[in-house]
């Protein structure tokens, strides 16, 4: 018997104007990345195409999730800091949404909470990296591989 996987689309919206300086974070380091909690970033893509969230608002990023596997689309042209914060935000939100019983600390998070947590993570650990994304997930209670 086949079962259909649910597809969840998440997006982060902001009023921040698009910047012309390009990020120096190498997004290739995140492709096929296994994360704390058993999640996998299967692909990450910078795009010039418009991105909209689930209710049709312009967004900086969109994460498609199927069974703990994340595919990220991020607007190109973000500053290094904006890209870092976006990565923290998208991964924490996606992990929280796809987990049947998310950690208590994120269970009631809304968009503003994810944004605040992403800014805090960037301030605490610096630019998003594979190791720092795992620190983020551990910090918020995600355990295991």
DSSP string, 6-36: P-EEEEE---PPP-SSPP-S-GGGGTTEEET
HSE (CB half, 13 Å, CA atoms) of 62? 19
Residue 118 has pLDDT above 90, yes or no: yes
SS3 assignment, position 57: coil
Within-domain flag for 52: yes
Q: Please compute the mean of the pLDDT values over residues 115-139 and round it to a whole number.
A: 97
Number of domains in the chain: 1
> 99: which residues sit within 8 A by CB, 6+ positions away?
37, 142
Within-domain flag for 144: no
Residue 44 is predicted with a pLDDT of: 97
Q: Please compute the mean of the pLDDT values over residues 23-47 and round it to a whole number.
A: 93
Residue 2 has pLDDT above 70, yes or no: no
Within-domain flag for 27: yes
The two tokens of residue 61 are 């990023």
**Can you give the pTM of this predicted structure?**
0.84
Within-domain flag for 84: yes
Residue 19 is predicted with a pLDDT of: 40
Provide the sign of the torsion angle of the four alpha carbons 26, 17, 122, 57, taken in this order.
negative
Within-domain flag for 145: no
Within-domain flag for 22: yes
How much is the mean pLDDT over the chain? Answer: 87
Within-domain flag for 88: yes
Kindly indicate the confidence band of residue 53, based on its pLDDT and cuts at 50, 70 and 90. Answer: confident
Q: Please compute the mean of the pLDDT values over residues 28-49 and round it to a whole number.
A: 96
Kindly indicate the confidence band of residue 11, based on its pLDDT and cuts at 50, 70 and 90. Answer: low
Q: Encode pLDDT of 63-112 as tens digits.
A: 999 999 999 999 999 999 999 999 999 999 999 999 999 999 999 999 99
Domain encompassing residue 115: 8-139
Within-domain flag for 2: no
């Amino acid at each position: 018997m086949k079962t259909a996987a649910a597809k969840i689309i998440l997006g982060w919206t902001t009023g921040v104007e698009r910047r012309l300086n390009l990020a120096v974070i190498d997004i290739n380091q995140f492709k096929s990345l296994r994360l704390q909690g058993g999640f996998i970033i299967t692909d990450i893509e910078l795009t010039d195409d418009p991105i909209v969230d689930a209710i049709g608002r312009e967004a900086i990023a969109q994460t498609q999730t199927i069974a703990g596997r994340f595919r990220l689309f991020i607007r190109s042209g973000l500053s290094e800091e904006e890209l870092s914060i976006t990565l923290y935000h998208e991964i924490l939100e996606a992990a929280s949404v796809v987990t049947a019983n998310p950690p208590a600390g994120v269970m009631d998070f809304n968009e503003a909470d994810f944004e605040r947590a992403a800014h805090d993570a960037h301030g605490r650990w610096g630019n998003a990296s594979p190791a720092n994304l795992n620190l983020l997930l551990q910090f918020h209670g995600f355990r295991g591989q």
